[in-house]
Amino acid sequence: MKENEKYSVEFVEEKVVEIAKGQSILDASLSAGIPHIHACGGNAKCSTCRVLVVEGEGHLTPPTQKEKFLKSKMHFPPNVRLACQTHVTGELAKVRRIIQDETDIGLYVGSSAGDSTQQLGQEMEMALLFLDIRNFTHIVETHSAFDVIHIIRKLFSSFESRIESNGGKIVETTGDGLYAVFGHETSKEQRANSAVQAGYSMLEDLETLNEAYFIPYFDERIEAGIGVHIGKVVSGSVRVGAEDHSVVMGYAVNIASRLQTATKELNNNFIVSSEIHRLLNDPLAVQTQSIVVKGISNPLTVCLMGKQFEGLNKLSQDFKVQKS
């Protein structure tokens, strides 16, 4: 930057601020009236002035030694910078303040706060897998509480192992169901193939458990329905009490959930979206079906990749086949 040359930095959803040579992003924001938190006075000790770089990372000065030390200590991702240590060297720099006011400090400053982009929230494209155990109410009503919990633990231990071995992660469990995501540090094709492989592996394990365990010991054949889709989601984490919980939300999540529901009505235990099927390395020739589901405006083309249930559940009003 020349002696009198000035650039600007955009604080997303706040304002565009002019910045002079030798002026840090923190100084520029404070001069413009932005209430930028800086508990240590801008000395790279507290990290409360940190910003998320949305665009123009190449137009910012490299981290100083002070910033490198704090980033290493607190495990900041590369796109998080200290505003007090960062200067602008070109146009198109866009940043977002992470700590908006004093009430935010506890969320992002601490032993485990803010140590990844995942905790700050990001948009990602992920493969989404929903699984639900069929007719589990019957098992709850006809078995002791100990047996019910034992069966669930046995199932979920197997399912979790298969999901994790294929690069996935369980986001949520809901009694007799679970929701998993595939997509961290892999290509789009890998995510789709990993989710489908995990689905097949879980169904195979379930068959083994039925024959070797659930039928002889509990006189029960347990079945499950799986739905898989891929799409953009908002991913992050929320701290509840002393623990961080992963959160994945978006339109694609609703579709994946509806596909799992559709396994009952289509009488097929494994259904994937056409978007998933196109990404498979060795796609099987499968039956396709156009369906309309509650809450989704356009018909969905789905691929039936599993087997029929031994006990067909009654139709739900949340779903209907789209007639051609």
pLDDT of res. 116: 43
pLDDT exceeds 80 at position 235: no
What is the number of residues in the chain? 324
Q: Judging by beta carbons within 10 Å of its beta carbon (0-12, 13-18, 19+), is residue 151 exposed, middle or buried?
A: buried
Report in angstroms the alpha-carbon separations of 265 from 145, 161, 223, 313. Answer: 30, 28, 14, 7
Lowest mean pLDDT among 115-119, 168-172, 228-232: 115-119
- Residue ranges per structural domain of the chain: 6-120, 123-321
Query: How far apart, in whole angstroms, are the C-alpha atoms of residue 181 and residue 195?
Result: 8
| % residues pLDDT > 90 (the chain) | 53
Helix segments in the chain, DSSP class H: 25-31, 65-74, 105-108, 117-120, 136-142, 145-165, 188-209, 215-218, 251-265, 274-278
Fold that domain 6-120 belongs to in CATH = Ubiquitin-like (UB roll) (3.10.20)
**Which DSSP letter does residue 238 get?**
E
pLDDT for 186? 79
**Stretch 288-315: mean pLDDT, rounded?**
81
Instruction: Check if 6-120 and 123-321 are the same fold.
Output: no
d(CA 232, CA 183): 11
**Alpha-carbon distance 202 to 180, whole Å?**
12
Encode pLDDT of 153-164 as tens digits.
Answer: 999 999 999 999
Of residues 86 and 108, the one with the higher pLDDT is: 86
The second-level CATH assignment, the architecture, of 123-321 is 2-Layer Sandwich (3.30)
pLDDT on residue 323: 40
* Spatial separation of the C-alpha atoms in residues 23 and 4, rounded to whole Å: 12
Mean pLDDT of the chain: 84
Two tokens, residue 270: 């494994």
By DSSP bridging, strand 50-55 and strand 80-82 are antiparallel
Own/partner contacts of 8-13, CB < 8 Å, gap of 24 or more, are 8/88, 8/91, 8/93, 9/88, 9/93, 9/94, 9/95, 10/93, 10/94, 10/95, 11/95, 11/96, 11/97, 12/54, 12/94, 12/95, 12/96, 13/96
The pair of three-digit structure tokens given for residue 236, joined into one six-digit string: 């992050």
Task: Name the token pair of 208.
Answer: 């083994």
DSSP state of 50: E
Pairing of strands 300-304, 270-273: antiparallel
Residue 118 has pLDDT above 50, yes or no: no
In contact, 46 and 109? CB cutoff 8 Å: yes
Do the bridges between strand 270-273 and strand 224-240 make them parallel or antiparallel, or are there none, so unpaired?
A: parallel
Distance CA 265, CA 317 (A): 10
What was the pLDDT predicted at 233? 85
Task: Examine the pLDDT at 50 and tell me if it is beyond 60.
Answer: yes
Region 71-87: mean pLDDT is 87
